[in-house]
Structure 1
Amino acid sequence: MTARMRFVGVTTGSSSIMRLFPVWSELLGLDAELVGLDIPLDAPAASYRAAMREMQEDPDCVGALVTTHKIALLDATRDMFDDLDPFAAAVGEVSSIAFGPAGTRGAAKDPVTAGLALEEFLDPGHFAAGGHVLCLGAGGAGTALGWYLAQRTDRTGPLTFVDPAPERLEHLRATLTARWPDLDLRTRLLDETDVSDLLRSLPPASLVVNATGLGKDRPGSPVPDGATFPRGAVVWELNYRGSLEFLHQARAQQAGQGLTVVDGWRYFIHGWTQVISEVFGVDMPPETVQTLAQAARTSP
């Protein structure tokens, strides 16, 4: 029997994983296929419940990776899960769904994914020099990033999150301060924030992240044209495909401002390999991840 893994997103057919998964499946010794399940942005709860029923009633479906809909899906279907990992329960999102004899298990892998990706380009003592963090976007990816950063031994300066939705900012604050009451966390509504001024106020070597989805699911950037990134900043675009306006803005300033500019490719690799490990119960040591990453780079 060929196992079926689902990919719950918005435009799954254009993702690189659709051509990579068969290669990875063979390398890992899995008899498995990946099938996309597209749900529009801002879909009603009924759409998420129908998607969950479709997966649960498919005897060949062993699990799923969830991208854009991590929070909305769990909000709509929490009663359809038998178990949630601690982070999924704390933040109310799932990126991994596994079906097995014990029922439906949801997990939120983003803090692990964010950490694995960040540690590839941030030194362990990076923030000791006084860098701050500006995360544009306070959804699931932003909350997971904050969760990871709060645990670093080189505690950052202030962590500032900007988002257009007050409920997302409130949820992020409640989640992080419940665990780290002394965290220097600042939340700002986009409509009340001049992002250009905020960037100018950051010290050198700060971390600036696009966690909005702009430049992937929708065109645009959370940074206005003409804004300047702080000197020596690390600029991280969580997306690896799409119009990627934020990434292009950073690259245009890379030489002049001495920026480290990173796209979302390795974040994508770690995100998928962590969920595949969870869904199929396979080990994913660094050497295996590297083998899969190399295959991804060389696959046509």
Structure 2
Amino acid sequence: MSDVGRDIRLVGRDLPVGAAAESYRALVSELKAAADVLGAVITSHKVAVVRAADDLIDSLDPVAVECGEVNALRREGTFLRGFARDPMSVGRVVDEIWPRGEHVVCLGAGGSAIALGRHLLSRPEPPSLVFADRSAAAAAHLESVLASRTGVRSDGSGSVEAASAVVHVGPGPWDELVAGSPPGTLVVNATGLGKDRPGSPLSAEADFPRDAVLWELNYRGDLALLRQAERQGVERHDGWQLFCHGWAAALGPILDLPDEAATARRFAELAAPLRPRTGGQ
């Protein structure tokens, strides 16, 4: 990989969903001891890494502390710095595909959902946010991160509005949350269903609200929800842009990249021939 200003080699390491804490600790310990390694891009298990191995990470940037996750680790000698970069990459993409709107339904409450909520609640006119997840622990963590960003705020004209985030916990599917949303709702699949595991967070009979926008964070896999939205004529976006922006944002602090957005565009250009055909825009 020479387009980032130096010749580097990527080595992939995979852990299964729900891996034991000892597995995360072993990988972080190995990284600290590897003299020829610059750092690591954490593409999943971002919260789990911090929970299992926070004592092995010597410093966390303020966003990582707030979100309780890392997706980039930079090695400086035996000193390990952790960064949470998803709020930047998620924010860059959602501002492009959904620059304004009043209501969001995010299916999933993991790291990507936290990044999305954090960014959208920082907008001058934040939308109302509804999250849904099977895991009570994930829902509680999301609520704790977003708690400081919800509440009553001024819009600058003397009036006030409430920035709200509601989290539902249950087995799904989440048809009623989506179908009962107002026109123009942004529906986000942040569950991993359709990539890590086959299937969809909605049933095959679920309807989207009028003028809805679907953002399927996956760009590979069976992508059942994306296909369902396509059949209903819903405006839809897959996760390809986020994939490119996510890697650029994570590599930014590891390699001191001067322009992460430009790097993401370059990644997308170089990888275009390898992009899966998903039906997303």
TM-score normalised by the chain length of structure 2? 0.90
Q: Aligned AA for 1:54? A: E
Task: Kindly state the Cα deviation for residue 251 of structure 1 after the two structures are TM-superposed.
Answer: 1.2
Task: Kindly state the Cα deviation for residue 145 of structure 1 after the two structures are TM-superposed.
Answer: 0.6
Aligned partners of 2:105 and 2:130 also within 8 Å: yes
Task: Describe how 1:276-291 pairs up with structure 2 within 5 A.
Answer: 276-291=251-266
Identify the residue that residue 232 of structure 1 maps to in structure 2. Answer: 211
Output the CA distance in 1 between the equivalents of 2:145 and 2:263: 33
- The structure with more helix, counted as a fraction of residues: 1
Identify the residue that residue 171 of structure 1 maps to in structure 2. Answer: 141
Identify the residue that residue 76 of structure 1 maps to in structure 2. Answer: 52
Q: Matched residue of 1:43: which SS? A: coil
* Unaligned runs of at least 5 residues, structure 1: 1-24
The one of 198, 206, 223 aligned to 2:202: 223
TM-score normalised by the chain length of structure 1? 0.84
Identify the residue that residue 29 of structure 2 maps to in structure 1. Answer: 53
Aligned Cα RMSD in Å? 1.7
Q: Aligned AA for 1:265? A: W
Output the CA distance in 1 between the equivalents of 2:78 and 2:151: 35
Structure 2 CA distance for partners of 1:298 and 1:196, relative to 1, 3 Å? closer
Aligned residues: 265
Residue 261 (str. 1) matches residue 236 (str. 2): yes
* Offset from partner CA, 1:128-152 (integer Å, 9 cap, x none): xxx3110000011111110001011
Task: Kindly state the Cα deviation for residue 59 of structure 1 after the two structures are TM-superposed.
Answer: 0.9
Q: Aligned AA for 1:44? A: A
The one of 165, 187, 196 aligned to 1:185: 165
Output the CA distance in 1 between the equivalents of 2:87 and 2:12: 24
Q: Aligned AA for 1:160? A: V
Q: Aligned AA for 1:207? A: L
* Offset from partner CA, 1:142-167 (integer Å, 9 cap, x none): 111100010112321x2110001111
The one of 117, 124, 127 aligned to 1:146: 117
Aligned partners of 2:173 and 2:202 also within 8 Å: no
Aligned partners of 1:135 and 1:160 also within 8 Å: yes
Residue 120 (str. 1) matches residue 96 (str. 2): yes
* Offset from partner CA, 1:245-280 (integer Å, 9 cap, x none): 1111111112xxxx2200000000000011111111
Q: Aligned AA for 2:198? A: P
Aligned partners of 1:221 and 1:246 also within 8 Å: yes
Aligned partners of 1:117 and 1:267 also within 8 Å: yes
Q: Matched residue of 2:10: which SS? A: strand
Identify the residue that residue 210 of structure 1 maps to in structure 2. Answer: 189
Output the CA distance in 2 between the equivalents of 1:299 and 1:30: 23
Output the CA distance in 2 between the equivalents of 1:299 and 1:200: 34
Aligned partners of 1:94 and 1:106 also within 8 Å: yes
Identify the residue that residue 156 of structure 2 maps to in structure 1. Answer: none
Aligned partners of 2:187 and 2:214 also within 8 Å: yes
Output the CA distance in 1 between the equivalents of 2:269 and 2:178: 35
Output the CA distance in 2 between the equivalents of 1:101 and 1:150: 37
Aligned partners of 2:35 and 2:77 also within 8 Å: no
Aligned partners of 1:274 and 1:284 also within 8 Å: no
Aligned partners of 1:159 and 1:186 also within 8 Å: yes
Task: Kindly state the Cα deviation for residue 299 of structure 1 after the two structures are TM-superposed.
Answer: 6.0
Residue 200 (str. 1) matches residue 179 (str. 2): yes
Task: Kindly state the Cα deviation for residue 29 of structure 1 after the two structures are TM-superposed.
Answer: 2.7
Residue 85 (str. 1) matches residue 91 (str. 2): no
Q: Matched residue of 2:246: which SS? A: helix
Task: Kindly state the Cα deviation for residue 294 of structure 1 after the two structures are TM-superposed.
Answer: 1.0
Q: Percent identity at matched positions?
A: 40
Task: Kindly state the Cα deviation for residue 102 of structure 1 after the two structures are TM-superposed.
Answer: 7.7
Task: Kindly state the Cα deviation for residue 292 of structure 1 after the two structures are TM-superposed.
Answer: 2.6
The one of 37, 60, 63 aligned to 2:39: 63
